[in-house]
């Protein structure tokens, strides 16, 4: 039997567990392995021109697939609209 010291992380994967982040000021649950790109897909915003800020730092489109989300992250998403 594996014994863990108090406070040590469990080696068992917790399937179905989610983490909480903030998206445009609203709480949202996402998978622990979520990235900025997967969040945008989930929101239906993975197309078009948008700007994404993660914890007050701009996330470039080329970084979105590899930028992992963590509990408590604050994401701001702005869609760009043209017009006159």
| Cα distances (Å, whole numbers) of residue 33 to 1, 3, 16, 57, 66 | 28, 26, 11, 20, 10
Q: Could you confirm whether domain 19-79 is CATH 2.40.50.140?
A: no
**What residue spans define the domains of the chain?**
19-79
In tens digits, the chain (84 residues) has pLDDT values of 334 344 444 444 555 689 999 999 999 999 999 999 999 999 999 877 899 999 999 999 999 999 999 999 999 999 877 776
Kindly report the backbone phi and psi dihedral angles of residue 30, in degrees, each rounded to the nearest multiple of 5, phi listed first. -135, 165
Distance of CA 22 to the CA centre of its chain: 9
Q: Radius of gyration (Cα) for the chain, nearest Å?
A: 16
Which stretches of 1-84 are assigned E, i.e. beta strand? 19-23, 26-30, 50-54, 57-58, 74-79
């Amino acid at each position: 039997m594996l014994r863990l010291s108090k406070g040590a992380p469990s080696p068992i994967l917790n399937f179905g567990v989610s983490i909480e982040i903030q998206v445009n000021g609203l709480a949202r649950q996402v998978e622990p392995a979520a990235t900025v790109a997967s969040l945008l897909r989930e929101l239906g915003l993975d197309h078009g021109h948008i700007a994404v800020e993660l914890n007050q730092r701009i996330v470039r489109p080329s970084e979105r697939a590899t930028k992992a989300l963590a509990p408590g992250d604050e994401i701001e998403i702005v869609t760009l609209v043209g017009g006159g």
